[in-house]
Amino acid sequence: MIIEELKKDTINNLIKNNQRIDGRGMYDYREIKIEKNVLTSAEGSAKVSLGNTQILVGVKVDLATPYPEKPDEGTLSVHAELLPLASPTFEIGPPSEEAIELARIIDRGIRSSECIDLKKLYIEEDKVWSVNIDIYVLDHDGNMIDASGLAAVAAIENLKIPTYEDGEVIRDKYTILQIREYPLYFTFSKISGRIICDPNQAEEIASDCRFTVCLGEDMIYAIQKGGRGSFKREEIFEMIEIGLKKRKDFLNLIKSV
Amino acid sequence: MEIEDVEEKEELEQIETGEKREKEGKKSEIILYDPIKKRIDGREADELRSFKIYANVLKKANGSAYVEWGRNKILSAVYGPREVIPKHLSDPYKAIVRVRYMMAPFSSIEGRNRPGPNRRSIEISKVIKDVFENVIVTSKFPNTAIDVFIEVLEGHGSTRCVGINAASVALAVSGIPMEDIPVAVSVGKVDGKIIVDLIKEEDNYGQADMPIAIRPNTEEILLMQMDGKLTIEEFKNALDLAFEKAKIIQKAQIESIKSSYKYEG
């Protein structure tokens, strides 16, 4: 990470002239690649690369008891693992603050958008399906949130729901549950007072703060600000506007795979 | 005040009875905003709960504050600048800020909370840390730690905001130099209405929840989280409401800091 630390000054100086360390424009994303159904063991899966950042999402659908307050709905959980093989900064051990935050941001967008129809996961009294989304960060070069969001949405787009017969889960016999909405994430960083899209890891280290918004077509589903810096109101409105514009491209991309 | 409390309790019992809810079916059947009866605790959409901030309530801490905010009861204390343990976490250029937000096992209106940190409290501690790192002049205290503790003794919605308001006062009276005193307030949406200062039920069954912390002097945003559904228009209105109400809270914070010195002589 020393290299990234050393890049701080360069990044800050470039930004003041509207330039970025990898030559991108202020609001440009790195190249996005989406692969769907990359695992046969999971009921849903996808791999997304965003520049050098690579995220794998696997979704398992298991038998569960519903929450007492929602007896007719399936359950949803999101976890994230920052694998030690993905970055020298990731350590072995229980989930870090960063991993927990990542999982909770993705959880909020997916839950709020109601993109998974949880009512369709009801089986019988006291029996529902649980959808367990696991985010595996394979290679970390910044902006894990947007890449994880894309991978999660791609993984649950056509989710295989197993069959439940005579007390047994039959995974070979499944129905497809289609996604109802595409909650997509857009992350920005503020460096030397300037806003950029899709920060890479060096830019994240050089940045003062981060802003993430999860968007539907004309709806905000989740927001998370991070980092010690601050945003002005107008900056936040601007970032949401940019996100809404970018969303169309993201949507086309994810649907075209 | 008492009448309001009784009404609130009845409402709560209704909501909390699992069986009843099961019969009633969906969350949408709980009316959270009614143009005549207003919110379930009788407040107007843009009305804060009544609250009181007490500064310097603990003897050992370098700074402390206690806040009662509706049914919320939150204690905050600041220790530091002090030696960093473990040592390798220290920063030779500035003080590190650590925040621990915690809900007591008995603090929830639902069942007992398992003691200790959980995923929610870890995330909240992190975003609150970002708030205070912004305002504390950390460069003055290299190689030290400033620890901010926020203990929710009773929680009833918007606890991270109330916790920030308490910790801001605790930091101010600790004498640690700060560029500003952060103010936090939650806004959200219930039954299509934009509201301020959400109670637990409005958070649980409402349509959106957005805690915000600001730096009053520069009107910049230090914390912003949101989940639910808001249109761009609603988001802007909610943000305006938060800024407007933050002024009331800021006044009360300053008042509590001033009055804490009167009694010390």
| pLDDT tens digits for range B94-129 | 999 999 999 999 999 888 999 999 999 999 999 999
pLDDT at B6 over 70: no
Work out the end-to-end distance of chain A between its first and last CA atoms, rounded to an integer number of angstroms: 34
A148 Cα to chain B: minimum distance (Å): 18
**Which residue is closest to A79 within chain B, CA to CA?**
B119
Superfamily the domain B38-259 falls into: GHMP Kinase, N-terminal domain (3.30.230.70)
pLDDT at A112 over 60: yes
Mean pLDDT of B182-203: 97
Q: Kindly report each contact of residues A119-125 with a partner whose C-beta sits within 8 Å and lies 24 or more positions away, as own/partner.
A: A119/A72, A119/A73, A119/A74, A120/A74, A120/A161, A120/A177, A121/A73, A121/A74, A121/A75, A121/A161, A121/A177, A122/A66, A122/A72, A122/A73, A122/A74, A123/A63, A123/A164, A125/A71
Does the beta-carbon distance from A230 to B228 stay under 8 Å?
no
Mutate to test the interface with A, among B89, B225, B230, B236 (most CBs of A within 10 A): B225
| Residues in chain A closer than 8 A to B227 (CB atoms) | 108-109, 111-112, 221-223
Q: What is the pLDDT of residue B25?
A: 39
The ipTM value here is 0.92
pLDDT tens sequence across B40-78? 999 999 999 999 999 999 999 999 999 999 999 999 999
Q: What is the pLDDT of residue A6?
A: 83
**Which residue is closest to A237 within chain B, CA to CA?**
B236
CA atoms within 13 A on the CB side of A181: 22
Average pLDDT, chain A: 96
Mean pLDDT of B11-31: 47
pLDDT at B18 over 60: no
| Residues in chain A closer than 8 A to B231 (CB atoms) | 218-220
User: Going from the N-terminus, what domains does chain A have, and what CATH number goes with each?
Assistant: 2-256 (3.30.230.70)
- Comparing A4 with B147, the larger pLDDT belongs to B147
Candidates B125, B130, B218; nearest CB to A228: B130
pLDDT at B7 over 50: no
Q: What is the pLDDT of residue A5?
A: 76
pLDDT at A58 over 90: yes
The verdict on B90 touching A (C-beta cutoff 8 Å) is no
Mean pLDDT of A30-59: 98
Q: What is the pLDDT of residue B263?
A: 56
Sequence ranges of the domains in chain B: 38-259
Tell me the C-alpha to C-alpha distance, in Å, between residue B96 and each of A248, B62, B144.
Answer: 41, 16, 6
Q: Cα–chain-centroid distance for residue A233?
A: 24
Candidates B126, B134, B232; nearest CB to A229: B134
Q: Kindly report each contact of residues A8-14 with a partner whose C-beta sits within 8 Å and lies 24 or more positions away, as own/partner.
A: A8/A202, A8/A205, A8/A206, A11/A191, A11/A202, A11/A203, A11/A206, A12/A191, A12/A192, A12/A206
B257 Cα to chain A: minimum distance (Å): 25
Nearest alpha carbon to residue B242 among B202, B206, B214:
B214
The verdict on B223 touching A (C-beta cutoff 8 Å) is yes
Does the beta-carbon distance from B239 to A236 stay under 8 Å?
yes
Restricting to B residues 123-142, those with a Cβ less than 8 Å away from any Cβ of A are: 123, 125-127, 130, 133-134
- How many beta-carbon contacts under 8 Å exist across A and B? 91
A106-115, A181-190, B8-17, B221-230 — which is least confidently predicted?
B8-17
Q: What is the pLDDT of residue B42?
A: 96
Q: What is the pLDDT of residue B29?
A: 67
pLDDT tens sequence across B215-232? 999 999 999 999 999 999
Q: What is the pLDDT of residue A15?
A: 95
Does the beta-carbon distance from A223 to B229 stay under 8 Å?
no
The verdict on B224 touching A (C-beta cutoff 8 Å) is yes
- Comparing B204 with B263, the larger pLDDT belongs to B204
| Residues in chain B closer than 8 A to A118 (CB atoms) | none
The verdict on B170 touching A (C-beta cutoff 8 Å) is no
Mean pLDDT of B166-193: 98
Six-digit token string for A38: 């990359």
Does the beta-carbon distance from A221 to B21 stay under 8 Å?
no
pLDDT at B2 over 50: no
Six-digit token string for B9: 């309790």
Binning pLDDT at 50, 70 and 90, where does residue A1 land?
low
B105 Cα to chain A: minimum distance (Å): 20
Candidates B21, B208, B225; nearest CB to A224: B225
Q: From CA B80, how far away is CA B180, in angstroms rounded?
A: 18
Angle between helices B159-174 and B119-135 (to 10 degrees): 40
Does the beta-carbon distance from A223 to B210 stay under 8 Å?
yes
Nearest alpha carbon to residue A86 among A155, A43, A135:
A135
Q: What is the pLDDT of residue B30?
A: 85
A133 Cα to chain B: minimum distance (Å): 16
- Comparing A62 with B8, the larger pLDDT belongs to A62
